[in-house]
Amino acid sequence: MPFRRSEAGPREWIDRSRTLSFTFEGRPCTAHPGDTITSALLASGVSLLGRSFKYHRPRGAVSLANHDVNALFATDADTNVRGDVTPVTDGMVADPVNVRGSLEKDADRHMDRFGRFLPVGFYYKAFHRPRALFPFWERIIRRRAGLGRVDTAWTPRRRAKRYGYCDVLVIGAGPAGLRAALDAADAGFDVLLADENPRIGGSLDYQWLGDAIADTQRDDLVARVLGHPGVTVQTSTVALGSYTDHWIPLAAPEGIIKVRARGVVLATGVLEQPAVFHNNDLPGVMLASGAQRLLHRFGVLPFERAVVQAANGEGLVAAEQMAAAGVTVAAVVAHGPGVTEADARRLTDAGIPVYRGWTVYAAHGSDAVSGVTIAPVDEAGNCDADSGETIHCDGVLMSVGWAPAGHLLYQSGGTFRYDDTLAMPVPADWPSTVVPAGRVNGAFTLGQQLADAGDAVRRLTAALRGEPVPPVVPQRDTVPHGSQWPIVPHPKDRNFVDFDEDLQLKDLEQAAREGFDNIELLKRFSTVGMGPSQGKHANLNAIRILARLRDQGIDATGTTTARPMYYPVRLEDLAGRRMRPERETPMQDWHRERGATFMEAGEWRRPAYYGADAASAIADEVAMVRNGVGLIDVSTLGKLEVFGPDAATLLDGAYTMRKGNIRLGLTRYALMVDDAGIIVDDGVAGRLADDHFYLSATSGHAEATYQTLTRKALEWGLDVHVVNRTGQLGALNVVGPMSRRVLEPLVDMDLSEASLPRLGICDTRVCGHWARLVRVGFVGELGYEIHATPAALTTIWHALLDAGAAHGIRPFGVEAQRVLRLEKGHIIVGQDTDGLTNPFEAAMPWAVHLKKPFFIGRPALAHLKGQEQRRLVRFVLPPDHAGPLPRECHLVIRNGDIAGRVTSIARSPTRGQPIGLAMVDRALADSDEPLTIRADDDVLVRGEMIAETFYDPDGVRQDADNPEATP
């Protein structure tokens, strides 16, 4: 059993005194608190952790750093769980993803043998001929797609997101991050230090462990950071991306923290890169840093007998650490200038055989490593396989180089260039307030990292204080830290460049050969870097491969874009708490209690009708308004107050009709169009004083109308103030022939035509409260709109219900109102008009006063007058129309083609026949032809256009003194 617990280490994360139980593939397993799924399984001797995406090859642990995307697990509440970083919890039930049957006996494991028939981009080249067969193939392909399974029974766990503010955000709590945090805090800045790991210390806790100087430094730095009042430490926290203006969301255990920092230090470190050789994906082949994490964090010894492939000093340290922990290091295979002869001698002296100038040519084994073949390699990276030797081992450590974790720097506007010595891209340029520090910036030794962090903070401090930013003091290492070409071809391939996507060297070569030979096309055709780890281990080698194929440099080959998220984030975490603001009128509770059915009206919910049965409720409500008195809550209307010497000028400029000549105490219809003459809003404008108007606007457009008016006031240099009172005042409409009789006892004024004429407006008192009364005629009966404060309006509402009880008063909803206004022929903006309707098309030329020298849309309407190609018409269906009614948006058909659409339709109780409005082609509108509507099931319904208003064309029913209206 290769994997086993080591002796307890000084910095390990696990608590060996306690044991947790969990099950994996139905088998009971144990773990210590602090173990991840992967470390616990490895410690129990399970090394086969997953199957690959495409070929279902056996895969194991590689990085232990949130990049092991071939070791994903499913639990009862989650899927695609990253085992390398997800802690085991007691009682956890974990299973592998993307297998049929068990991991070991995965029914799809034979896919590996068909690899040659599934070359890169294979799906572009087959299955499409004949066309009819594609759905068959697609079903097969789709069945094999994806990784984990979802459960439609999962429910969102929504947690609040937090906002965080700091002077300096330091990302990464390794040596550079710790130093930067301390220096920034010492400079007086409020510092937030975030690290993805549960403990701070970074590589000091595994790569540098046992180095006496580093250990001392580490203890000092950690203690000072934890004790510094200016530093807040946020562990287990990932910076997801860098967005505009230093907006950096952090995924913390408690949810997302959106941080706005004045300055950012990116001490994000480096990502170890794999070597590309035959079977480099077998369980047992690990990144050296991955093995170190496993050993020092989780106390698991990954191997008994290992071969270490090293192109840098870090690999040698790893070999020494493994040896010290009890692993037999069978050989260190070193190539490139990163391992010197002196280095080699140090290991040889310690009894570790070193093969300088050699590389790993292939690993062997079926489900785990059983040995490797090593072979000499020249400076250009060409491998002499014939001279190879085979070494028995159960593990391979790869230490061949690094890539910067530069994602956030890139997103902040930074650029990178390839450093030939370090064999990795390093930052070339960055904003003065987002600075890299440490290994991400090419500073590798501990001294360099600490000095680089100090320098970064000095520059950042100057930038934040608005002082001249001192030049960079370079701290980049001059010693190689990686191989220029850690890639070995093999006749049997299976030398993987991208573990997520199962891409081998030959796949990238083939893609380039087929013409996808720039980095972006290569990525898109091969999908390299597009898997769950987003190329963190694949992109750099892919660029190397393409660069070599194209015989050009790394920088000339370019790079792909590093997009957020740094690690995948759950939708529920991104969503946060659920907030759905809705607006309520003062009478909302009353409507609910009365059994209203509500309908959406922008941010509002309005009663559609009251009662269980829609049809009968609406009919009754309509009848009561026509014959008695009804009450409707119109609080959702936009309500704007306009004050100032230029109030009339503003309204004359903003609306199509004259407003400046409205007499005191009267109202006028108000129609607003845009610059293209398209209707955007309507309402009523009333004049309360020479310099004071009161405006209504449609419910959904109130805010926009307010914005238009305030902006035009500025634009036109007017002395005027607009106040949006939509939420401050409620409104109701008491309407019907009995309305005057019901209202009169409650109001402190005479309601005769002489006192409050039709279209009149005045401030008065109703039920003792201040109220504004408006005589409106939207539904075609005598009626009074009452605007008042919420408390007053509620009182008035109830008083009207009491006062009207004798007359059978009842509330009515939007549906009845629609029928009533349709009988009166009034349009609803947005229903009878669409996104391109002008007033002429809406048959409202009377509402356009072109005699005014200017109003919004006038220049357009002046040209459009008489040019309309369609027009809104009134129509009726025969009184004996049987069967279902055509519906709104059913088409008007003329000569077999579309000639318009029904915009409104209803059975008119008053006329005893269906009536409606339709927007039809002008030729039809101008004709006396019948109107043919294509209703449901293609039934053609014949109607007739009529010129007159459906109901009370002379408006006598709106006369307050009409004996019929006020019997």
- Give residues 811-840 in contact with other proteins (rule: CB under 8 A): 830-831, 834-836
Neighbours of 306 (CB within 10 A): 30
93 binds other proteins (CB under 8 A): no
Residue 790 three-state SS:
helix
By CB under 8 A, the residues from 335 to 394 that bind other proteins are: none
Taking CB under 8 A as the criterion, the residue among 77, 213, 428, 806 binding other proteins is: 77
**DSSP result, 360-393:** EEEEE-SSS--EEEEEEB-TT--B-GGG-EEEE-
By CB under 8 A, the residues from 613 to 672 that bind other proteins are: 649, 652-653, 658, 660
Q: At what angle do helices 505-513 and 539-550 cross, to 10 degrees?
A: 50
Taking CB under 8 A as the criterion, the residue among 516, 812, 840, 875 binding other proteins is: 516
By CB under 8 A, the residues from 401 to 430 that bind other proteins are: 411
Taking CB under 8 A as the criterion, the residue among 100, 128, 345, 492 binding other proteins is: 128
690 binds other proteins (CB under 8 A): no
Residue 232 three-state SS:
strand
Total of chain residues touching other proteins, rule CB under 8 A: 126
76 binds other proteins (CB under 8 A): no
Cβ distance to other proteins smaller for residue 10 or 515? 515
What's the closest the beta carbon of residue 379 comes to other proteins, in angstroms?
A: 28
Cβ distance to other proteins smaller for residue 203 or 560? 560
Cβ distance to other proteins smaller for residue 805 or 836? 836
Instruction: Give the helix/strand (H/E) hosting 906.
Output: strand 897-908
Q: At what angle do helices 519-526 and 539-550 cross, to 10 degrees?
A: 120
Q: At what angle do helices 341-349 and 313-325 cross, to 10 degrees?
A: 10
Cβ distance to other proteins smaller for residue 228 or 725? 725
What x-and-dash track marks residues 147-186 binding other proteins by CB under 8 A?
xxxxxxxxxxxx--x-------------------------
Length of the chain equals 967
By CB under 8 A, the residues from 924 to 963 that bind other proteins are: 934
By CB under 8 A, the residues from 96 to 125 that bind other proteins are: 114, 116-119, 122-125
Q: Which stretch binds other proteins (CB under 8 A): 73-81, 364-372, 446-454, 954-962?
A: 73-81
134 binds other proteins (CB under 8 A): yes
By CB under 8 A, the residues from 709 to 738 that bind other proteins are: 710-711, 714-717, 724
Cβ distance to other proteins smaller for residue 227 or 253? 253
* Terminal-to-terminal C-alpha distance of the chain: 101
Taking CB under 8 A as the criterion, the residue among 901, 909, 921, 955 binding other proteins is: 901
Instruction: Give the separation between CA 527 and CA 531, rounded to whole angstroms.
Output: 8
Strands 434-436 and 255-266: parallel
Residue 20 three-state SS:
strand
Residue 487 · residue 540 · CB < 8 Å = no
Which one, of 458, 227, 477, 479, lies nearest residue 343 by Cα?
479
141 binds other proteins (CB under 8 A): yes
What's the closest the beta carbon of residue 790 comes to other proteins, in angstroms?
A: 21
Rg (CA), the chain: 39
Taking CB under 8 A as the criterion, the residue among 676, 689, 791, 805 binding other proteins is: 676
Which one, of 771, 772, 784, lies nearest residue 737 by Cα?
784
By CB under 8 A, the residues from 211 to 250 that bind other proteins are: 240-241, 243-245, 247, 249
What's the closest the beta carbon of residue 642 comes to other proteins, in angstroms?
A: 14
Q: Give the distance from CA 86 to its chain's centroid.
A: 24
Taking CB under 8 A as the criterion, the residue among 27, 110, 260, 592 binding other proteins is: 260
What's the closest the beta carbon of residue 68 comes to other proteins, in angstroms?
A: 14
Cβ distance to other proteins smaller for residue 291 or 933? 933
Cβ distance to other proteins smaller for residue 110 or 513? 513
Cβ distance to other proteins smaller for residue 320 or 573? 573
Cβ distance to other proteins smaller for residue 328 or 597? 597
By CB under 8 A, the residues from 490 to 509 that bind other proteins are: 506, 509
Which one, of 42, 34, 44, lies nearest residue 13 by Cα?
34
Cβ distance to other proteins smaller for residue 131 or 349? 131
Amino acid sitting at position 251: A
Written as six digits, the tokens of 660 are: 């400046």
Neighbours of 726 (CB within 10 A): 22
Cβ distance to other proteins smaller for residue 432 or 518? 518
Which one, of 806, 833, 819, lies nearest residue 903 by Cα?
833
Report how far apart, in Å, the C-alpha atoms of 485 and of each of 423, 543, 800, 908 are: 9, 11, 87, 83
Cβ distance to other proteins smaller for residue 114 or 947? 114
Peptide bond into 130 cis (omega under 30): yes
Cβ distance to other proteins smaller for residue 256 or 873? 256
What's the closest the beta carbon of residue 543 comes to other proteins, in angstroms?
A: 15
Peptide bond into 565 cis (omega under 30): yes
DSSP 8-state assignment for residue 848: -
Neighbours of 707 (CB within 10 A): 12
By CB under 8 A, the residues from 548 to 587 that bind other proteins are: 561, 563-565, 568-572, 574-576, 578, 580, 582
Query: Token pair 């219809």 is at which residue?
Result: 669
Instruction: Give the separation between CA 804 and CA 816, rounded to whole angstroms.
Output: 19
